[in-house]
Amino acid sequence: MKFKSVNPTNTEAWKKLKAHFAEIKDVHMMDFFYQEPDRNEQYKIKWDEIQFDYSKNRINRKTLELLNELANEVGLKQAIQLQLEGYNINLTEDRAVLHTALRDFDQMKPEVKKSLQKMKAFSNSVIKGKWKGFSNKAITDVVNIGIGGSDLGPKMVVNALQYYSNHLKVHFVSNVDGDHVAEILKSLNRETTLFVIVSKTFTTQETLANATTIKNWFLKDASQLDIEKHFVAVSSNIENAVNYGITEDNIFPMWDWVGGRFSLWSSVGLSICCAVGYSNFEDLLKGAHEMDLHFKDEEFTNNIPVLMGLISIWYNNFYNCETEAVIPYNQYLEKFVPYLQQAVMESNGKEIDRNGIPVNYQTGAIVWGNVGTNSQHAFFQLLHQGTKTIPIDFIGFKEPLHGNQYQHKLLMANFYGQSESLLKGTYQQNISNIYRTFKGNKPSNSLLINQLTPKNLGSLIALYEHKLFVQGVIWNIFSYDQWGVELGKKNANKILNS
């Protein structure tokens, strides 16, 4: 079985959406609020510990009906089913796309269960000081060596869950820039550092270059026999890892049906387990699985990732918005946007459709942003008074982790105030200074979450995974290959060897 391969612009729903867009494109959102007095509540979904408010968008009930019609016409429901049931939906690589299977504890694959047990035992041993280095000292530092999905995902989660961290210091080496790895090594003690080499194929140029530099540094004051106490690998290529010097017992599995940018839920999350403990890692998985069930079972009209995907299509393909901003009002999520950039732009940056035909419409929104309130003093001027329409996702939390209620109240006042200001501007106010006028009518979604916990973080990440899947299905592209990444590697190797 495979997806329907439908050029969305040829559907009846698309034609209706074009006509509808012509009718409402110049309507101010404030007029929608006047027309629908209960809009605040009607355009809001409360699910588990997440509240999704999409009332501040340039849409009305007819827009939503037509977007839902589009989703049905391109076969979104069937596509969701095919992905979650493990069909080879990634046809260009003849692979299934089953990162969701990594977090389904009810129907978990035996190999995934075995891997989780190994991760639990290993991380517990390191955290409790039972895993000793070559001089019989406990581990104090863990270094994750990877790039792309082998770096961005675990780094983002470790950073986001700092509040739940233990005594271990976790570092990340990714860039092939030698200065990057040199700075990390300056603070490390060979006797108490554990290195996790993460490479699916164990051939990734940047990762192996960094790993080799680190191994040579380690061997200056240690022997080859000591490597097994300080180096482990996450890879599907056991032979290459063993040849590199990693003992087979120290290799954690990866699978062909898990794409790199969706792999933090797998053994790639080993550094997360070390940083925050296995139980918190498991909560992360369970939160993601709960969002998977919501995505699979909920009607599209009440389905948060589906609505986010459809609204994004509306702006990208009808308003011609090329970018989307994501603004988390939480410093712990400072790595969230870089993570999303890979997840979204590596997935949907495609110009050939599933029929092998160049697309005649825009795909792949550009994702950017930063944490609030920092971003308010950087690029919000453009959001408020610039000439571009940039849809925004605001992410906030009801409760702080450290209990500083005054500063959290100040933070959340900005969270609410910015979305309201972007909506209203100085609409119908008598402002005499033209330079201080604001048109408003700038669209945004708001995601309000009870508190930043491992479980809620898992749900949030999975939400964006499913959103990009919805976009890819409607754009009729293959979201799970990344041939553009491969081309750059080939050309770099040619130059290196010339």
Q: 367-398: per-residue pLDDT in tens?
A: 999 999 999 999 999 999 999 999 999 999 99
Q: Do 124 and 87 have their domain in common?
A: no
Q: Do 169 and 222 have their domain in common?
A: yes
**Beta pairing partners, 392:** 325, 444
Cβ neighbours of 35 (radius 10 Å):
11
- What's the number of domains the chain is made of? 2
346, 408, 424, 465: which one is catalytic? Answer: 346
In a domain, 342, yes or no: yes
* pLDDT tens-digit map of 175-192: 999 999 999 999 999 999
Strands (E) located in 48-126: 50-53
Give the whole-angstrom CA distance, residue 484 versus residue 494.
16
Q: Do 464 and 333 have their domain in common?
A: yes
Tell me the two tokens of residue 167: 């005594």
pTM for the complete prediction?
0.97
Q: Do 440 and 311 have their domain in common?
A: yes
Q: Which residues contact 239 (CB under 8 A, 6 or more apart)?
A: none
Given pLDDT bands bounded at 50, 70 and 90, which one contains residue 56? very high
* In contact, 329 and 372? CB cutoff 8 Å: yes
In a domain, 327, yes or no: yes
Q: Do 70 and 181 have their domain in common?
A: no
Q: Do 178 and 304 have their domain in common?
A: no
167 in active site: no
Give the whole-angstrom CA distance, residue 156 versus residue 272.
10
Q: Look at residue 1 in the predicted model and tell me its pLDDT.
A: 64
Q: Do 340 and 473 have their domain in common?
A: yes
Write out the residue range of the structural domain in which residue 37 sits.
8-96+298-482
Q: Do 13 and 85 have their domain in common?
A: yes
Give the whole-angstrom CA distance, residue 211 versus residue 229.
15
377 in active site: yes
Query: Is 48's pLDDT higher than 70?
Result: yes
36 in active site: no
Give the whole-angstrom CA distance, residue 268 versus residue 276.
14
* pLDDT tens-digit map of 270-295: 999 999 999 999 999 999 999 999 99
Query: Computed from CA positions of residues 92, 366, 268, 50, in that sequence, does the dihedral angle turn out positive or negative?
Result: negative
CATH number at residue 196: 3.40.50.10490
Q: Do 255 and 358 have their domain in common?
A: no
Q: Do 315 and 271 have their domain in common?
A: no
Q: Do 312 and 363 have their domain in common?
A: yes
Average pLDDT score, the chain: 96
4, 388, 409, 489: which one is catalytic? Answer: 489
Give the whole-angstrom CA distance, residue 333 versus residue 11.
39
377, 402, 490, 494: which one is catalytic? Answer: 377
